[in-house]
Every structure is written in structure tokens, then in C-alpha cells.
Structure 1
Amino acid sequence: MTSILTNVAANSALQTLRGINDSLEQTQGRVSSGYRVAEASDNVAYWSISTTMGSDNNALKAANDALGVGAAKVDTAYAAMEAALDVVDEIKSKLVTANEGSTDKEQIQLEIKKLQEQLSSIAQGASFSGENWMVAAAGAADETVVDGFIRNDDGTVEVTTASFEVSTYAMFGEIDDDGVGSDGILGNVMGIVLSDATTPAQLDGFLVTVESALSEMTNAGAALGALQTRIDLQTTYAGTLSDAIEEGISRLVDADMEEESAKLSALQTQQQLAVQSLSIANSSSQNILSLFQQ
């Protein structure tokens, strides 16, 4: 039966066209944004996971940036320790030379004093971002370096750190207003003073002091080196982990552009056919007029 009040074929064609237009709009959105899951309504589970992991990945990148600052602090302290080791070695050589009876100990003292001043200068200059790990009073709190960000099984988050015992490994406990260091690893080295009256026994005592300082400085350098290694390893790991998280998020929410391109072409063709079908359905009602022609 054909009715001039209800065009069943046109309604059917219109519903088909609406469905195709909805699919086409969704596919065009994916093509333009690059996302298969751009908002929660697209897929609640995937959107929730990707949002949380994306936030964690940003925090991990921030921790990686902090690692760069920490690495600079460690490098600064290590460079100072290396330079100070060379100076203390030179003081040791001067003391060995002073054991020769014909040497002028007063002249050697002038050289040692300059080397001691250099030690103070090295320690005072070992500052980065307002922190100096080479000058710290006894009992000072450990310095820390941010080295990671983790999410625990219970959903809580945690920033991890690596520490350095500045009170144990600092070259000096303090630097006075005249720029002279005291206490710390090198405090006793700063107390070495030669004169013509200095005895061989005193020289031996000074050598013991220097050897003790060199041993402690070697331990400090080893501690800094170990911290450097940890930071380097953590930096590499953080970069790899960040890439893995990004790839995981991509698998959940990114659109497959090859698939979406194929869908887009197919839907555009279907849209054209649906429009043609609706046009035919609408024109069919005009054929009824021919039934009333004489």
C-alpha cells in the first residue's frame, strides 16, 4: 500500500542516513584528533587508565628533570673533591721534601700555606643552586637527590630519593669570614705549619695527617662516584620507563589511522548512497499523481 501521509521508504532511508552520519562524525573526530578514546564517554575504563598513567608519566618526567639537577650537584662536588685530592697530594710532596735536612722549611711553608688557601677556595666554590656539599657542619642532615616517582599497589604515590652524607664527607665544617676552612676531612690538614724548628717526628705526624685525609677523601670520592652511577642508571631507566608508559597509553587511546582512513572512505560512499536512496524514496510519492491523471 502506498500512502501520501507516511512515506515508509523515506523514513527507512532517513534512519540509515542518520546512522551513517553519526558514524562518519565519530570517524572524522578520530582522524582529526588522532584519538580513539578522546573522552570518558568513548571508553570509561581506557580513559581512566590513560588519564592516570599520563599523569604519572608527567610526574616521572619531572623526577627525571630533578635528576638532572641532582646530577649537576654531584658532579660539582666530585669535581671539587678531585681538585682537592691533587692539592693534598701536592702538600704531601712538600712534606716529603721538607724531610731533607738541607731544605728551607720556611719557604716550603709558604707553598703549603698557598695550597691550604687553595683547598678553602675549592670547597667554597663547590656550590650549585645554593647548595654546597663540601662545606657542612658535623651532624648536618644528609643531602638528597630526587631519583624517581612510583605508584604503589595500594594506589598511593611516592617520590624516591638518593642521599649523600655531607657531614661525613664534607671537606670542611665551615668557612670563616676570611675564607679559611676548618673542621671536616681537611680540618687537620689546615693545621699543618712548618718552621725551621719543625722536627722529623713532627713531619712524620703531618704526613700521617695528610695520609688520613687522603684516605677519607678517597672514600668521599667513591661515595660521590657511586651516587653518580646510580643517577646515570636511574636517568636511563626513567627514560625507558617513560617511553614504555607512553606506548602503553597509545595502544589504549590512539586511533589506528589506516583503519580510520578506510572507514572514512567507506562511510563517505555510504553517505552518498544513503542520500541517493532518500532522494529516490521522496520522489516515489510524486508517482501517485499519475494515478489521478485523465
Structure 2
Amino acid sequence: MSSVNTNASAMTALQTLAATNKNLSTTQGRIATGMRVAEASDNAAYWSIATTMRSDNKANSVVQDALGLGAAKVDTAYAGMKSAIEVVDKIKEKVLLAKATDSATERAKIQSEITTYQAQLKDNIAGASYAGSNLLQNGTAATDPTKLSVITSYNRGTGNAVTTGTIDVAFANTRLINSDPAAAAANKGMLDKNGAQSGTSILDIDVSDVTGVTGYVATDVGASFDKLLTDIESALSSMSTGAAELGASKARIDMQKDFVSKLSDSIDRGVGQLVDADMNKESTRLQALQVQQQLGIQALSIANSNTQSIMSLFRG
């Protein structure tokens, strides 16, 4: 039956063309954005997962920055510690040289060199600061931290409970000097605390006058020098241990930084598999839809022309 009121063919062609245009719009959007799931309406589950993982990756980016900052602080402290060990070694040599001579004049000259090394130690340690942190020297405030904590991970558990991992470097293991002159003996550093044998700190050694050395005996001055040397060796041993801890912390920070970088890349790949568009498929689909669109327009044109043929029936 032919009707001028209802053109079923045109309606069918129009519906088909509308569906094709909708699919074409979707495909063009995917090609333009490069994403298969750009909005929650595209796929609510995938969009939610991807959004959460992107948020976690932003946190991982901050963790990487924190690891880089922590590594720089530890590197700076290690450089300062290594330099301090070299200077203390020189002080040890001079103390040994002072023991080898009986001349007060020579010992005074040697002491002038030791005094220079002691000043160098203070300068090096004070300068081993990065971003306001100095692992080799205590501050004077009672609220000063007792350790350097470097954030290493961001973990989101059940119920969105968040925990962060850290690498801690205890200042007690790296402290060389306490800048608070009134600090208790227990809070002194490796270089400014009194030695167990000599009762003298590395920074207070004076080979021109060893009468202040614990147990000083005028007839056995050499014993006082031995006590100074023993305390210097103890300090060097503690400094070597501190340097080793800094080195181990730096190695761990570097490994964690590498891991977080790989983890971030892995999350990016996982998110991409959920929401990224396959451009090969989308380009092929685009061409097919463009052909369907052209055919739909042609079909609609044919369906509309059918009603015009009815007019020929009324021509005389």
C-alpha cells in the first residue's frame, strides 16, 4: 500500500541514518581524544577504575619527587662525611707526628695545622646542608627532628585507608657536631663529644698542651698521645659506620625510585588498556561508517522519491 501520510521506507531509512550518525560521532570522538572511555557514560566501571588509578599515579609522582629530594640530602651528607673522614685522618697523622717529637716548638707548629683542620671540619659540616636539612649537625631547637624520613611509597588499602612507607636515617648515626653548645654530653656528635680515653673531643685536641688529657702523667706524655689516637680511631670507626649507613640508604632510595618509576609506567599501561582507543580499529570503523552514512542518505533520498511517483497517477 502506498500512502502520502506515512512513508515507512523513509522512516526506516531515517532511523538507520540516525544510528549511523551516532556511531560515526562516537568514533570521531574516540579518534579526536584517543580514548575509548573518556567519560563515565562511556563505561562507568572502566572510567571509575581508571580515575582511581590515575589518582594513585599522581601520588606516585609525588613519591618520586620525594625520593629524589631525599637522595640529594643523603648524597650531600655522604659527601660531607667523606670529607670529614679525610680531615680527621690528617689530624690523626699530625697527632702521631706530635708524639714523635719532644720539641714544644714543633708541637706548637703542628697544633697550628690541627687547628686549621678543626676549623675546616666545622665549615664542611655546616655546609653539608641541602634544602634545610643537615644530617651531620644538630640544630639548637628542642623540636628539631631526630631522623630524616624519606617517603618511599603510597599505599591505599581496604576502605581507602592510606599508609606511606619511609626510609629513615637516624641523625644519631650520622651526627658529627651538635651546634648547641649547652647540649648534654649524650647529645654531642662524634667530633665534639669527649673521648672515652682522653676525655677530649676531636675538635678540642691540643697537642701543644696535653695536660688536660685524662690520666695525664708528666713522666709519660706518650701515653696521653696514645689516648688521643685511640679516641681518634674510635671516631673514625663511628664515622665510617655513619658513611656506610648513608651509602646503604642512598642505594635503597635509588632502588625504590627505580621501582616507583616502573610501577608508574605499569599503571599507565593498565589504564591505557582500559580506556585508550585502538586507533587502527577506529580508523577502519570510521571509513565503514562514512560509507554507511552515504548509503543511508541515498536510501533516504530514494524513499522520499517514492511518494513523488504517486503524483504521476493523477496526471491526465
Residue 190 of structure 1 corresponds to which residue in structure 2?
203
Instruction: Give CA-to-partner distance per residue, 1:126-172, whole Å, 9 cap, x none.
Output: 11111111112699521211222122244322222111111332110
Correspondence for 1:113 among 115, 137, 147: 115
Letter in 2 for 1:16: T
Q: Secondary structure at the match of 1:2?
A: coil
C-alpha distance in 2 between matches for 1:15 and 1:171:
82
Structure 2 spans left out of the alignment, 5+ residues: 182-186, 193-200, 212-220
Letter in 2 for 1:249: V
Instruction: Give CA-to-partner distance per residue, 1:30-50, whole Å, 9 cap, x none.
Output: 000000000101001100000
Instruction: Give CA-to-partner distance per residue, 1:42-97, whole Å, 9 cap, x none.
Output: 00110000000000001101110111111110001000000000000001111111
Correspondence for 2:266 among 233, 244, 255: 244
Letter in 2 for 1:156: A
Q: Is the 8 A contact 2:210 2:224 kept in 1?
A: no
Distance verdict in 2 for CA 1:29–1:197, change over 3 Å: closer
Letter in 2 for 1:164: V
Residue 55 of structure 1 corresponds to which residue in structure 2?
55
1:232 to 2:254 alignment = yes
Letter in 1 for 2:167: A
Residue 162 of structure 2 corresponds to which residue in structure 1?
157
Correspondence for 1:209 among 211, 231, 235: 231
1:168 to 2:173 alignment = yes
Q: Secondary structure at the match of 2:154?
A: strand
Using the TM superposition, give the Cα deviation of residue 102 of structure 1 relative to its aligned residue in structure 2, in angstroms.
4.7
C-alpha distance in 1 between matches for 2:311 and 2:287:
39
Q: Is the 8 A contact 1:149 1:157 kept in 2?
A: yes
Q: Is the 8 A contact 1:76 1:128 kept in 2?
A: yes
Letter in 2 for 1:149: Y
C-alpha distance in 2 between matches for 1:205 and 1:36:
76
Letter in 1 for 2:57: N
Letter in 2 for 1:258: N
Q: Is the 8 A contact 2:101 2:107 kept in 1?
A: no
C-alpha distance in 1 between matches for 2:210 and 2:274:
81
Residue 16 of structure 2 corresponds to which residue in structure 1?
16
Residue 2 of structure 1 corresponds to which residue in structure 2?
2
1:200 to 2:213 alignment = no
Q: Is the 8 A contact 1:37 1:43 kept in 2?
A: yes
TM-score by length of 1: 0.94
C-alpha distance in 1 between matches for 2:120 and 2:146:
26
Letter in 2 for 1:186: L
Letter in 2 for 1:145: V
TM-score by length of 2: 0.88
The count of residues paired between Structure 1 and Structure 2 equals 289
Instruction: Give CA-to-partner distance per residue, 1:94-134, whole Å, 9 cap, x none.
Output: 11111213551111111111111111111111111111111
Residue 69 of structure 1 corresponds to which residue in structure 2?
69
Residue 84 of structure 1 corresponds to which residue in structure 2?
84
Letter in 2 for 1:291: L
Q: Secondary structure at the match of 2:160?
A: coil
C-alpha distance in 2 between matches for 1:57 and 1:229:
23
Q: Which moved more, 1:191-200 or 1:272-281?
A: 191-200
Query: What is the CA RMSD across the aligned residues, in angstroms?
Result: 1.7
Using the TM superposition, give the Cα deviation of residue 196 of structure 1 relative to its aligned residue in structure 2, in angstroms.
6.1
Q: Is the 8 A contact 1:67 1:235 kept in 2?
A: yes
Q: Which moved more, 1:128-137 or 1:222-231?
A: 128-137
Q: Is the 8 A contact 1:189 1:210 kept in 2?
A: yes
Instruction: Give CA-to-partner distance per residue, 1:232-276, whole Å, 9 cap, x none.
Output: 000100110000000000000000000000000000000000000
Distance verdict in 2 for CA 1:160–1:184, change over 3 Å: same
Q: Secondary structure at the match of 1:41?
A: coil
Q: Is the 8 A contact 1:140 1:167 kept in 2?
A: no
Q: Secondary structure at the match of 1:277?
A: helix
Using the TM superposition, give the Cα deviation of residue 205 of structure 1 relative to its aligned residue in structure 2, in angstroms.
0.8
Identity of counterpart residues, as a percentage? 46
Residue 179 of structure 1 corresponds to which residue in structure 2?
none
C-alpha distance in 2 between matches for 1:154 and 1:244:
23
Q: Which moved more, 1:77-86 or 1:107-116?
A: 107-116
